[in-house]
Structure 1
């Protein structure tokens, strides 16, 4: 304040002092004039500094995006400056609100996209990942998508480098060797201009696993079905022609041939059902199931349903079931695993033998397996030579084709089991000794 008074009133006061000391002005009027000048300088300085302080506060509020409070400037000349500051503050606040709304809209659109999407900086650092990307890639302890392994893939890295270098969108087709292989179509799209946070590349991952699996399954279905259906279909056609011709008036032969036709038709029905079941499982294999299943309850129910087959083969079923819950799990699919393993053991085991069905919880790591649940089916049949074991889960692979068909097998049971176990992120373990029997074990995550 003193400095303002000196700056405003210093020159007039100095002039009055000179006039008074030189005798050109009466002392009393000069002294009164000096006091009036100092008072006027004090009032003007106080008004000017107060106005500047108010303008400074208004400009700070405008810079921070806060509303400028209405105020009456102490100096009328500053009114226009205060009004400009208020308009600036309102404009900045409206622009900031619009930018926030646009950011929320952009984030909502990106988060709603069904395909995984990543936003990257020029140094390849991932800035953002939408929920689909976090679900697909998994997240670390900090909740950030785990993108390191993905971006190290040679084709993806090349597409990102080319997109950044050329400024043009790039595409690549890749196969990720995850627990279940996945076909991806990668699109690297440069962002020009870059985003405010430095994002200059958008990486879109389109999962084509299901579509390509469907294409392969259609081709496999035609090939496999035509091969496996040819024999029973030829038998049915041949016996129908015989019934229409030489055996037309032979009731005994007709009854026998109709039984054969019914058997072959049932074989085709089972084959078609297994193929369709396998196709449905493979279509969804890359997505982990949801829910949970009490494995011991499923095993007990399937064992009861197997009673007719057990009676027909004079096989004893021994149960060793303890409470165990598979999670995540699809109860229907796991019931099919138990059913297929039991049917396999009964059909290919020893007549009058024993099949053991067990379910237990693994509370600690065992034999290289993490804690989880274990399903086991063991028979005391002829066993399988070791060279055949790696191929048992192939479609239509049979160790003894004639015996398998005679027992009613379609050659798809273990293929179905393998894909269901893979769908549940589990493991299928097969051990067999010739002359002693076969043990099928399924490890699943659970408790």
Structure 2
């Protein structure tokens, strides 16, 4: 009845059901046709052969049992269309994005998916897993799952070459009584990297705040004790305390600014700004700082307005950070050159803004890390210039949101050039 009901759901249900049952009972059908032919020949009349065959076919189709391997009906569900037992283990392994290795009770590889081959190189069938993965934690894991002590075993494993990757490995038997086992490697490298960055960030921020707090606490204790009646010492200590609180305020402001940038989605700004006006405003606002440091600012802008897609306040912050660094750390050079030009060296046209100083320069080994949080080329010089170590990290985040990039060129004794490449379109 179930087959009949399913067949009735289609326009040709009866015909499809008949065909299925005819195919499932093909041996019985052959015998029936032969019997009809013999009977007709005995009767001596060929006119009744065709109707007799049709009757036999319909009878067999109606009452003969169907085959277990018959084709699925239209509208049949996935479980009816194909049994899970019919799926190849290789197909299932290939569908897993993580590295997966199937092995036998001797620890020999039976099959490895493409992700495992890419991660660990050649894993040919028959290769011994204990010889391939020699780390003690992997030896213990494989031995434990082969001994059958637990249904699922896990371990932490670090692959050193070609690059260091951290995996959480789980091992379990496949089915019941198959004597096959599976290793699945879950890549934890990115998670560990983020956790390490978070821990470093907290440690650095705590250190930067702890230093001025300890200084302020020490001066307060001095003012309440030995310097209680010393006006000159009081004035000196109060000035230092004011400088330290200002340093903490700047650090907190930069941390909040960085936090806001990281929480913002990386969507391209919808407004357009004249980059020449933005850079000109930065130069005007930092004029007093340049004068105090004995810096002469030279402008080299191309003619006419140059519009780019961007947020004016964020781009102002970018160039303010770069210009302030050039005035502070390039003080010995006596001048800073700010230029705006059209870039054509890349695959897409850009607007390039370069801020170049003529100070001591930056050693080559520092350049790749200079935009990291709290990274300083010279810690003492940075703190003496009231730096927080977050300025270039903020610059990098803002430029990422603007689909722009920062390039740095420097030689010791020749100064440094920071170039912002903004998309021209």
TM-score by length of 1: 0.50
- Higher-Rg structure is 1
Aligned with residue 374 of structure 1, among 352, 359, 362: 352
SS for the counterpart of 2:359 is coil
| Residue 442 (structure 1) shift | 0.7
CA contact (8 A) 1:221 1:275 kept: no
Aligned with residue 426 of structure 1, among 388, 404, 422: 404
Aligned to 1:411: 389
| Residue 328 (structure 1) shift | 2.7
Aligned to 1:397: 375
Structure-2 change in CA distance of 1:444 and 1:315 (3 Å): same
| Residue 325 (structure 1) shift | 3.9
| Residue 292 (structure 1) shift | 1.4
Provide the C-alpha distance between the structure 2 equivalents of 1:395 and 1:369, rounded to a whole number of angstroms.
Answer: 30
Between Structure 1 and Structure 2, the one with more helix by share is 1
| Residue 220 (structure 1) shift | 6.6
SS for the counterpart of 1:439 is strand
1:306-321 map, 5 Å: 306-321=286-301
| Residue 216 (structure 1) shift | 9.8
CA contact (8 A) 2:298 2:336 kept: yes
Provide the C-alpha distance between the structure 1 equivalents of 2:203 and 2:307, rounded to a whole number of angstroms.
Answer: 35
Provide the C-alpha distance between the structure 1 equivalents of 2:95 and 2:365, rounded to a whole number of angstroms.
Answer: 35
Structure-2 change in CA distance of 1:154 and 1:378 (3 Å): farther
Aligned to 1:331: 312
SS for the counterpart of 1:441 is strand
Aligned to 1:383: 361
Structure-2 change in CA distance of 1:216 and 1:332 (3 Å): farther
SS for the counterpart of 1:351 is helix
Provide the C-alpha distance between the structure 1 equivalents of 2:296 and 2:226, rounded to a whole number of angstroms.
Answer: 45
Aligned to 2:245: 265
Structure-2 change in CA distance of 1:290 and 1:223 (3 Å): farther
1:194-273 map, 5 Å: 222-273=202-253
1:96-115 map, 5 Å: none
Provide the C-alpha distance between the structure 2 equivalents of 1:418 and 1:326, rounded to a whole number of angstroms.
Answer: 21
Q: Any stretches of 5+ residues in structure 1 without a counterpart?
A: 1-121, 123-151, 159-213
Structure-2 change in CA distance of 1:401 and 1:257 (3 Å): same
SS for the counterpart of 1:429 is strand
Provide the C-alpha distance between the structure 1 equivalents of 2:296 and 2:249, rounded to a whole number of angstroms.
Answer: 28
SS for the counterpart of 2:413 is coil
Count of matched residue positions in the alignment of Structure 1 and Structure 2:
242
| Residue 311 (structure 1) shift | 1.5
| Residue 400 (structure 1) shift | 0.6
Aligned with residue 355 of structure 1, among 336, 341, 360: 336
| Residue 217 (structure 1) shift | 9.3
